[in-house]
Amino acid sequence: MKVSLASFPTTVYLCLRDDFRAKIFEEARKRVGAWANLARYLGIRDSNLAGYRSGKFSFSLKVCRKLSKLLRLGLSDFEREISWVGSHSRIGIKNPKLPFDFNTPAGARFLLAILCDGKFSQDLRPTYYNFDPTLRSGVIFAAREIFGDVHVFELPDYGMARFPKVVGYALLRANITPGNKTCVDPTIPSFIKNGNQSIREMAIGQIISDEGSVDTRYKKLRIHFCKDVTNASGLSKIEYGRNWATYAPNLLKDSIALFKKSEINTSLPHVDRIRVTKKGRVKIDWFLNISGHKNFLRLASIPVTHPKKKAAIKEYPSTLTRVGKNESLNKALAALWKVKWRVPHFTARELSAEINVSRGYCKHLLKKLRTLGHVEVIEKGTSTTPWRYSLTYQGKAVAKSQSRFF
């Protein structure tokens, strides 16, 4: 998804590089015969034309279009020579990287940041809110990767980073709808949902950083979004939950699709609570859960920028390691972690004493653990001597993690 100069309204202002500016204005004068004639053709005053020629004033895209028509040049020829683009207030982007390319990991990060913890209201000035300086600086860096040296108004005490209106025009072309996102219910752009792996993973990382919360007690990652249902209120919490395909936020449903493409399984959307704001708006807080060893192993490779969430996700695979759904195997491994400190090579007898079950059942558990590669035979038994076992390197890691749960 690329946004070119032709996509912007004629009220956008720009400056051209000195050599190119002098060249095109001189060529335009030759076409019409005199500077006064050129001013009349462009619909501007003679004094303004002098300012445009010298580079003292920026000029509108409307003037640029007229110049391109007169000189029979495309706007793409001007794009490469623009030194600044923005609004009449001189707030904008130096050395813009036109056309702006959103089909990149930086594009995915910036767009998801505005859709998640950001604000894109009718004034078309995108704003990102987050008190974590790492996240704010990451979003600003992504913006400069896309647009160039963009002017950013930042208030760290308020966790705010605001971008100029010209960036808002670009977001409109990227199919981002302005307005209160709980009311307009925006979607994640299709070029991100259908993008390559690096684009999708960057989008997921930003969703987790902004809208995720890590539940350390129940070992889950939870993603939150909200939707305004004032015009469709009246149902119960259970009824909304059953009809999540209709009432859940588009951002939450699109997030599920992104996770699925990255082989991360999620729960279905759930209703957290229904609340009424001071203005009388009815809003529903929705969430989905992500849990399980395989999911967290996959999440560990996702570029999450929130420092604490990133650390927690990377730590979880070791705390969530499971042999399987068999609780007895998990309990046996936890017991073997304790036994190994007392005896170097254990038997079914030591395991039986530790977990208080029969030796016969312990032999069955040890056989299963051998199959899974967590236990190895050190000495085969005879009719009078027991079999002796030891934890493998893999088994020690798993047993250590299981010892936290039993």
| Predicted pLDDT at 297 | 83
CA–CA separation, 228 and 285 (whole Å): 9
CA–CA separation, 139 and 107 (whole Å): 10
CATH of domain 327-402: 1.10.10.10
CA–CA separation, 103 and 98 (whole Å): 14
Write out the CATH class of domain 197-320. Answer: alpha beta
User: Would you say residue 401 has pLDDT above 80?
Assistant: no
| Predicted pLDDT at 151 | 93
Residue 405 β-bridge partners: none
What values do phi and psi take at 342, rounded to 5?
A: -95, -40
Q: Which helix (H) or strand (E) holds 26?
A: helix 18-32
Helix, strand, coil % in the chain, rounded to nearest 5? 50, 15, 35
Confidence of residue 119 (pLDDT cuts 50, 70, 90): very high
User: Would you say residue 392 has pLDDT above 50?
Assistant: yes
CA–CA separation, 370 and 360 (whole Å): 16
| Predicted pLDDT at 319 | 57
Confidence of residue 404 (pLDDT cuts 50, 70, 90): low
Residue 14 β-bridge partners: 59, 85
CA–CA separation, 346 and 181 (whole Å): 61
Round the average pLDDT of the chain to a whole number and report it.
87
CA–CA separation, 193 and 249 (whole Å): 16
Cβ-count burial 217-229 (b if 16+ within 10 Å, e if not): eebbbbbbbbbbb
- Please answer whether residues 230 and 267 qualify as being in contact, where contact means their C-beta atoms are separated by less than 8 angstroms: no
Q: Which helix (H) or strand (E) holds 210?
A: helix 197-211
User: Would you say residue 317 has pLDDT above 70?
Assistant: no
The pTM of this model reads 0.75
| Predicted pLDDT at 318 | 62
Please write the tens of the pLDDT for every residue from 50-96.
888 888 888 889 989 999 998 898 888 889 899 999 988 788 999 99
Instruction: Please indicate whether residue 148 or residue 395 has the higher confidence score (pLDDT).
Output: 148
- Please answer whether residues 84 and 92 qualify as being in contact, where contact means their C-beta atoms are separated by less than 8 angstroms: yes
Sign of the CA dihedral running 298, 302, 306, 308: positive
| Predicted pLDDT at 1 | 82
Q: Report domain extents, the chain.
A: 2-94, 197-320, 327-402
Sheet holding 212-215, edge to edge: 212-215, 220-228, 282-290, 270-276
Please write the tens of the pLDDT for every residue from 334-382.
888 888 778 878 888 888 888 888 888 888 888 888 888 888 888 888 8
Confidence of residue 170 (pLDDT cuts 50, 70, 90): very high
Confidence of residue 287 (pLDDT cuts 50, 70, 90): very high
CA–CA separation, 139 and 151 (whole Å): 13
Sheet holding 92-94, edge to edge: 59-60, 13-16, 82-86, 92-94, 149-150
| Least confident piece of the model among 48-52, 362-366, 388-392, 393-397 | 393-397
Tokens coding 14: 């720009």
User: Would you say residue 323 has pLDDT above 60?
Assistant: no
How many residues appear in the chain? 406
Level-2 CATH architecture, domain 2-94: Orthogonal Bundle (1.10)
Tokens coding 59: 């000029």
Helices of type H across 262-374: 293-299, 307-320, 327-339, 348-355, 359-372
